[in-house]
């Protein structure tokens, strides 16, 4: 392997700012922020707007959108005269 061509693979903390949820994993992402983790060590920090802790699909708080009539609206709007 050639030296100095691979990114720095290190432990990084990802923090969901909306749900106040953080997890420690390994990544090559570059970041300027740092955070002191539960083990007392300081790690690079990546702030996220959404994660499994705040995403509506995973939290069960998603809304079911009524899709009824969408196909009919589309057909009416772009009707070519031919029916399938």
The conformation of residue 44, written as its DSSP 8-state character, comes to E
- The predicted pLDDT at position 58 comes to 65
Residue with the bigger pLDDT between 81 and 34: it is: 34
**Which of 6-10, 19-23, 50-54, 62-66 shows the lowest mean pLDDT across its residues?**
62-66
The answer to whether residue 4 is domain-embedded is no
Q: Looking at the domain assignment, is residue 2 inside a domain?
A: no
With respect to residue 1, please indicate whether it lies within any of the assigned structural domains.
no
In a domain, 49, yes or no: yes
**Per the structure, how many domains does the chain have?**
1
The distance of Cα 67 from the centroid of its chain, to the nearest Å, equals: 25
Which comes out higher in pLDDT, residue 22 or 76?
A: 22
Work out the percent of the chain whose per-residue pLDDT is above 70.
Answer: 77
pLDDT top residue among 54 and 7? 7
Domain that holds residue 31: 10-77
Mean pLDDT, range 35-63, rounded to an integer: 84
20 band by pLDDT with thresholds 50, 70 and 90: confident
The CA distances from residue 68 to 46, 61, 72, in Å, are 40, 21, 8
Judge whether 67 lies within some domain.
yes
Note whether residue 83 is domain-resident.
Answer: no
Residue 5 lies in a domain: no
């Amino acid at each position: 392997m050639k030296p100095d061509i691979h990114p720095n693979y290190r432990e990084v903390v990802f923090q969901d700012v909306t749900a106040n949820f953080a997890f420690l994993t390994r990544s090559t992402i570059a970041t300027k922020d740092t955070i002191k983790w539960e083990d007392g060590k300081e790690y690079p920090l990546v702030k996220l707007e959404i994660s499994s802790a705040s995403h509506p699909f995973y939290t069960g708080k998603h809304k079911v959108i009524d899709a009824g009539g969408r196909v009919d609206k589309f057909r009416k709007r772009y009707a070519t005269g031919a029916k399938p």
